Structure 1
């Protein structure tokens, strides 16, 4: 059973959503929707930092990595996008080398959209369990650079931020143990993921039902009931979708951590881990608490993962 050894994050400076209206081509109605209805206020942006620098800043915050580099077997890039840098640049390989992890196998995991961060933990769970070395660890890197117009926002859903997170995991462990995981993919046969009007309509039809499905499936795999979950750490997409989801699932609003939504924007796969760092640092998450991370990716991929702190 995999556990989180440590989670670190890097949150660049922010820009108000209003300052992004012209660059994103938002009309006044869209601007009001994002700010007044969806609860977005500030978006993490780092125009002077490359993706490599963003990922390194998060990874260098891992105190548990220093002196334990030799224990890291895998460096895994959980990508919300298939391509995050122009060829032949590889932020993953540069980060691996900068951290002194050249001996570790490096690879990327993609195609689950912003749910790929949770998929990366599941992949590392399989690899570390098969290795048989109880001291072995894997480093997962999440978060991305919004370097193309396509990556800067999801039409009428959310605005993307450039916050990053680094997650160090191991097999076994007594703290932050992963208890259950579920994912579902309801992609289109034609492979279209861009949020045009037709795709957006399809997504709206299934979103809440499938989100509830994976949350309940992960909780069941963990051997728990939904009432046993003390805290839900969501992806920071928008306030409306999570208010509706909490009502559908019967989750009290006090169990839904949404504090970072107005401060960061939607930071791809890094959101649940950014939220984890906040609740640990703020003393919200207590020893023994069961918490649930969730995320949804373009292409209609839904995922949920249960941990015990």
Structure 2
């Protein structure tokens, strides 16, 4: 499977750390942790725009950036989000109707993926890969559209004590089984779960949290190694690690444990956007491709994600060359 286009929607004016501290009333201790230890600076927030409006705004921009031929072939749309409650395709039928009209395909199929929390985007990627592979076997030349991101709906999910805070940024990613020059080839996607923590979104205790913290790094490293194995790559071959925007020091530990250099961690947005739910990987991928120096190798690329309820995911990507089309 190949990634052809990534369109991102980020707030034009980022909300600075002091304003976030006042908004969330998280106290001086957390401000020091976020500012001095994590070096976090700001977050992307859309204070006044509603979620359905933001999705349509994203898609208008996506249409302008997408190959018109591929745009006309979109047959599947998956929206990956972290929270279980917001589901515009189910609860706002007019959005589904508007999207069918916008894409010009009345037979369009919609899916919402949320069961893996902030790792849901990579689960959605695997799901769309299965749908597109099956369509290709039927000689149905269709593309998939993965929408990621949501709003900070509720105070209890707006920041994670001492580890990070949430932002609002959205991505629309076009997927196909057919390559073209400059696309990203998805070499492997691996997802695994710690089922014992499936209740963390509704109930937890200190003993469980401590156990989760101890299991986190070993499980993420296992997920990374398995994804690399599926892709036929060694850790030393990686040229870029795409993090998600929670606890930046965590990725130094992942690098050390997995056996690749810390300097391949892509940090351009790590401190300024906040953790944008399922969008982090795609926001960073778009930025990496837009700002890369052609003289410097950027792939193979490893992107990782984890969900609060114990889902861990990793994918390996490589840039497609013209002679591979």
With normalisation by structure 1, the TM-score equals 0.92
**Which residue of 142, 151, 156 maps to 1:136?**
142
The answer to whether structure 1 residue 297 and structure 2 residue 307 are counterparts is: yes
Following the alignment from structure 1 to structure 2, what is the Cα–Cα distance between the partners of residues 90 and 291? 37
Following the alignment from structure 2 to structure 1, what is the Cα–Cα distance between the partners of residues 57 and 32? 33
Following superposition, the deviation at residue 84 of structure 1 comes to 2.1
Following the alignment from structure 1 to structure 2, what is the Cα–Cα distance between the partners of residues 198 and 284? 47
Are the aligned partners of 2:100 and 2:108 in contact in 1 as well (CA < 8 Å)?
no
Which residue of structure 2 aligns with residue 120 of structure 1? 124
Are the aligned partners of 1:134 and 1:172 in contact in 2 as well (CA < 8 Å)?
no
Structure 1 residues 21-100: aligned runs within 5 Å: 21-62=21-62, 63-64=65-66, 66-84=68-86, 88-89=91-92, 93=96, 96-97=99-100, 99-100=102-103
Following superposition, the deviation at residue 185 of structure 1 comes to 0.6
Quickly say closer, same or farther: Cα 1:189–1:157, change in 2 above 3 A: closer
Deviates more, 1:108-117 or 1:53-62: 53-62
What 5-or-longer segments of structure 2 have no aligned partner?
320-325
Following the alignment from structure 1 to structure 2, what is the Cα–Cα distance between the partners of residues 95 and 246? 44
Post-superposition CA distance 1:202-249 (Å, at most 9, x none): 221111111111111000001111112111111111211112211222
Which residue of structure 1 aligns with residue 323 of structure 2? none
Structure 1 residues 200-279: aligned runs within 5 Å: 200-279=209-288
How many residue pairs align between the two structures? 308
The answer to whether structure 1 residue 179 and structure 2 residue 187 are counterparts is: yes
Deviates more, 1:159-168 or 1:78-87: 78-87
Following superposition, the deviation at residue 308 of structure 1 comes to 0.8
Quickly say closer, same or farther: Cα 1:98–1:293, change in 2 above 3 A: farther
Structure 1 residue ranges, 4+ long, deviating more than 4 angstroms after superposition: 284-288
Following superposition, the deviation at residue 288 of structure 1 comes to 8.1
Q: Secondary structure at the match of 1:261?
A: coil
With normalisation by structure 2, the TM-score equals 0.87
Quickly say closer, same or farther: Cα 1:212–1:161, change in 2 above 3 A: same
The answer to whether structure 1 residue 110 and structure 2 residue 114 are counterparts is: yes
Are the aligned partners of 1:193 and 1:199 in contact in 2 as well (CA < 8 Å)?
no
Following superposition, the deviation at residue 29 of structure 1 comes to 0.6
Q: Secondary structure at the match of 1:32?
A: helix
Following superposition, the deviation at residue 158 of structure 1 comes to 1.3
Quickly say closer, same or farther: Cα 1:224–1:201, change in 2 above 3 A: same
What 5-or-longer segments of structure 1 have no aligned partner?
none
Quickly say closer, same or farther: Cα 1:68–1:222, change in 2 above 3 A: closer
Task: Name the Cα RMSD after superposition.
Answer: 2.3
Q: Secondary structure at the match of 1:188?
A: helix
Following the alignment from structure 1 to structure 2, what is the Cα–Cα distance between the partners of residues 18 and 287? 37
Q: Secondary structure at the match of 2:96?
A: helix
Are the aligned partners of 2:30 and 2:161 in contact in 1 as well (CA < 8 Å)?
no
Deviates more, 1:149-158 or 1:209-218: 149-158
